[in-house]
Amino acid sequence: MTAQDLELNYFHGSRFLSTRAEKGHRLIAQYVAGGNAHKLGRLLRSHFEEEVGPRSAAERYCVDCLLEYYSLLEIGIASGVFPTAVPQEITASAEVLHVPAVRRYYERHYPLLLPRMFRERISGNPLLAPEANSSTRARFISFLNLCSALEDEDTGYFLDFLEDGALDEGNGNWVGMEDLIALLAKPERLAKRLLVSPDKQGYLDASVQGLLRFLQFCIELDELLAGMEDTPALQSAFWHHHGYWFGLFSNAVSSALFNALDAFRSWVPETTNKTDAKRRKKIEDTLRSIATAENQIARLTSGIYRAYLDKKVFGAGDHPSINVGIGSIVQGRVTAVKVFGCFVEYLPGKEGLCHISELADFRVNEVEEVVKLGDLIWVKIIQIEGEKVRLSRKAAMAEQRAELAIEPRAEKPKQAYFGEAT
Amino acid sequence: MSSHLLPHPLPDNHGRAQWCVSRPKRVVIFVHGFCGSATGTWPDFPGFVVDHPLLSDCDFVYYGYEGKFTQAAISAGIFRDFLAELLGDPSAFANNALPTRGLGGRSPLLRLPGLQYDRIIIVAHSLGAVVARLALLGIDKKRSKTPQAYEWLDRVTLVLFAPAHNGAFTADLANTFLTNQGWDVSNFIGHIALHQSPLIQDLRQESQAIRYLRDQTKIALERAGGRKPGHLAARKVVWAKDEKVVVCLPFLEDEEADVLDADHSTVCKPKLNRKAPFRVLLEALEQS
């Protein structure tokens, strides 16, 4: 047994192939074996399009863990830590990556490159040659350590806010990203929140802590990536493993957070009214530190780290951002909400209008009934006239439903589906 | 041949371990400080130690505990029991922690019974120094009743980065609450946020906890009769040049401190362009 085999066996036997990931694998296999591919497709739909109930969310989380496992395998092979000859046992299990509903999940709904790359690898078309030396190995280990920072419970709440927008604290009391941003804008209230002991913390208190940890994670990851210019493929792979979160964090969300945190910069509590020169210096140091963090997060949310693998996987002619045109279904972020519809940024720097009549397949009285600022939505490009681009969310949803053989929501209540899920 | 396995979680959320593939002779146990974490305080050590020619016979344990609200003595009690379990029977501990699921039950890593570490190096940062010292004091006391159970205590070496064993400027310590989590807005709110934590009270200069630590260590050193046992007198102490959190004073029989160009949080963190903390560890291992 070589060292790499040993390492892979160890990895395969450790928490990285967690119980949840195994359950995710079992789940997919059961759906496929039972001839329930359409149900699997429905389970693995985009939650930006249609809300996902708690039971489905738990099952999807298991699938996410499985995809994370395959992603880390790909990175481990690219780092030279694991052998390029993937054992038969793992190759056979990774066949689930070919299942159409699963492919749609990690290619279209939540575009993830690494599972796609691992699928290509086990199909005999590896996209990355390993870069194996003691440095890549050390970096992989540092990266695994960093990944564990996101396992923290508080960080999980923050990421839930980021992804779902809001969480139910019980009694129908929903708290979400807007509350978090509002809280950050009021330092006195935030200071009180930080005093809440862990056993009495609500989602909002916990997510404040989670936000701080997420920022720490971003800073550490950026430091790691910045020192990896000599291994651009690995650098990009590390980024892509967390790229989904940076996508959500970017644009509207991060600017809103940083705008809110501006309030912190100008806030000095009463107790420091008699600040001496030393304390003033500390505050100045603090502001510099915030500026540093902003720069690092700006780097992570920009395209600099992602580009290398994007190009490697999609090539020059097949990149999704190049081939977008009339008829394309793309994911974009709502950048402005108007009475007559909303503007959606579907590519960096490219916006289109989704008219209120194109928002849904039912009558929409107010745009915010369906979308709000910062939402990620799928839209179909239905018209391009010079700089003017018209988009349709209704058409995108209809095509996706047809593809998945999903009945319109109104005709099939959610409960019926949840009752069938296993 | 790789010298170490990937870091792996320890049972009971006690942090992570990086087990060496060959038969280990030494173990290095990292203990983080106030608001730190097993992986966050020592993020780059796992990458540095792997495949290093001088460290191929070392196991590495990154110990984790609740370092924000729990009193130091309580954390020390938990750490004391952890040490007793790990060092009382290292083979059983490692075998229990090593995953075997993917190894088909034929793990070449499983360790034969009877293993004992020749050297035990405890590396602690800030509050971790107080926790580690209190834990070792506790074991020192227990050993007087059952010496054979704790004979490993004589093989302990203490390496301390920015230790808080003389207390801390507590408002600034509270500030590390957020700086350790990446958001240094706390210079002016940290003291509001955490001044109620019993742990902060513990770390005030001349607090009961700090006085207890010093007095009991003094008694234990006197009992040692002129020797300077490694579990009572630190072999290596490192201060940060830009230290503003802990009180930098010699502690009883500890060795003279070295000073690194860093601040309280970074003094223990090696980076690709700043390997000084890693060199401190290597020196300590060579001396031990």
Q: Looking at residue A324, what is its pLDDT?
A: 66
Q: Residue B69: helix, strand or coil by DSSP?
A: coil
**Distance (Å, rounded) from C-alpha B123 to C-alpha A136?**
26
Residue A200 has pLDDT above 90, yes or no: no
Tokens of A44: 């693995």
Q: Which residue's entry shows tokens 């792996």?
A: B8
Give me the percent of chain A exceeding a pLDDT of 90: 22
Q: Looking at residue B105, what is its pLDDT?
A: 54
Tell me the sheet residues that pair with A388. Answer: A385
Query: Does the CB of B112 have a partner CB in chain A at under 8 Å?
Result: no
Name the residue among A114, A50, A109, A14 with its Cα closest to residue A360. A50
Residue A315 has pLDDT above 70, yes or no: no
User: Which residues in chain A (240-269) have CB-CB distances under 8 A to chain B?
Assistant: 261, 264-265, 267-269
CB A220 within 8 A of CB A149: yes
Residue A227 has pLDDT above 70, yes or no: yes
Tell me the sheet residues that pair with A130. Answer: none
Tell me the sheet residues that pair with B238. Answer: B161, B258
Residues in CB range of A345: below 8 A, 6 or more apart: A251, A332, A333, A335, A351
CB A77 within 8 A of CB A83: yes
Q: Looking at residue B64, what is its pLDDT?
A: 93
- Secondary element (H or E) of residue B278: helix B276-287
**Which of B5, B9, B271 minimises the CB distance to A15?**
B9
What mean pLDDT is reported for chain B? 84
**Distance (Å, rounded) from C-alpha A352 to C-alpha A388?**
7
Query: Does the CB of B12 have a partner CB in chain A at under 8 Å?
Result: no
Cβ–Cβ below 8 Å for B2 and A7: yes
Residue A169 has pLDDT above 80, yes or no: no
Q: Looking at residue A292, what is its pLDDT?
A: 65
Top residue of B183, B195, B263, B275 to mutate, by most chain A CBs within 10 Å, is: B183
Cβ–Cβ below 8 Å for B189 and A217: no
Region of B53 (left: φ > 0; alpha: ψ -120 to 50; beta: rest) is: alpha
Residue A204 has pLDDT above 60, yes or no: yes
Top residue of B6, B16, B70, B278 to mutate, by most chain A CBs within 10 Å, is: B6
Q: Residue A389: helix, strand or coil by DSSP?
A: strand
Of B110-114, B149-153, B196-200, B245-249, the one with minimum mean pLDDT is B196-200
pLDDT in tens, A237-247: 999 999 988 88
CB A53 within 8 A of CB A88: no
Looking at the complex, report in whole angstroms how far the Cα of residue A80 sits from the nearest Cα belonging to chain B.
11
Give the HSE-up count for residue A181: Cα atoms under 13 Å, Cβ half-sphere.
Answer: 18
CB atoms closer than 10 angstroms to residue A51: 11
Taking residues B203-222, what's their average pLDDT?
Answer: 92
Residue A74 has pLDDT above 50, yes or no: yes
Chain A contacts of B53, Cβ < 8 Å? Answer: none
Residue B192 has pLDDT above 60, yes or no: no
Query: Does the CB of B109 have a partner CB in chain A at under 8 Å?
Result: yes
Tokens of A56: 């489905």
Q: Residue A260: helix, strand or coil by DSSP?
A: helix
Taking residues A59-69, what's their average pLDDT?
Answer: 93
State the Cα angle at A245 between A77 and A26, rounded to 5°.
60
What mean pLDDT is reported for chain A? 78
Q: Looking at residue B1, what is its pLDDT?
A: 55
**Distance (Å, rounded) from C-alpha A391 to C-alpha A319?**
20
Q: Looking at residue B189, what is its pLDDT?
A: 43
Confidence of residue B141 (pLDDT cuts 50, 70, 90): very high
Tell me the sheet residues that pair with B263. Answer: B242
Distance from the Cα of residue B214 to its chain's centroid: 18
Residues in CB range of B224: below 8 A, 6 or more apart: B232
Q: Looking at residue A408, what is its pLDDT?
A: 45
DSSP state of A109: I
DSSP state of A17: S
Q: Give how far Cα A215 sits from Cα of A264, B158, B181, Å.
A: 16, 33, 8
Tell me the sheet residues that pair with A331. Answer: A378
Tell me the sheet residues that pair with A333. Answer: A345, A376
- For residues B250, B252, B255, B256, the Cα torsion angle rounded to the nearest 10 degrees is 20
Q: Is the ipTM of this complex over 0.90?
A: no
**Which of B40, B108, B187 minimises the CB distance to A149?**
B40
Q: Which residue's entry shows tokens 């090696």?
A: B270
Confidence of residue A296 (pLDDT cuts 50, 70, 90): confident
Q: Residue B242: helix, strand or coil by DSSP?
A: strand
Tokens of A247: 């996508």
Q: Give how far Cα B180 sits from Cα of A327, B16, B42, B186, Å.
A: 49, 19, 12, 10
Q: Looking at residue A264, what is its pLDDT?
A: 57
**Which of A10, A212, A272 minimises the CB distance to B99?**
A10
Among chain B residues, the shortest Cα distance to A270 is held by B188
Query: Does the CB of B271 have a partner CB in chain A at under 8 Å?
Result: yes
Taking residues A33-59, what's their average pLDDT?
Answer: 87
Q: Residue B146: helix, strand or coil by DSSP?
A: coil
Looking at the complex, report in whole angstroms how far the Cα of residue B24 sits from the nearest Cα belonging to chain A.
17
Q: Residue A151: helix, strand or coil by DSSP?
A: helix
Q: How would you class A143 by CB atoms within 10 Å of its CB: exposed for 0-12, middle for 13-18, buried for 19 or more?
A: buried
Looking at the complex, report in whole angstroms how far the Cα of residue A66 sits from the nearest Cα belonging to chain B.
16
What is the count of residue pairs from A and B with beta carbons less than 8 Å apart?
147
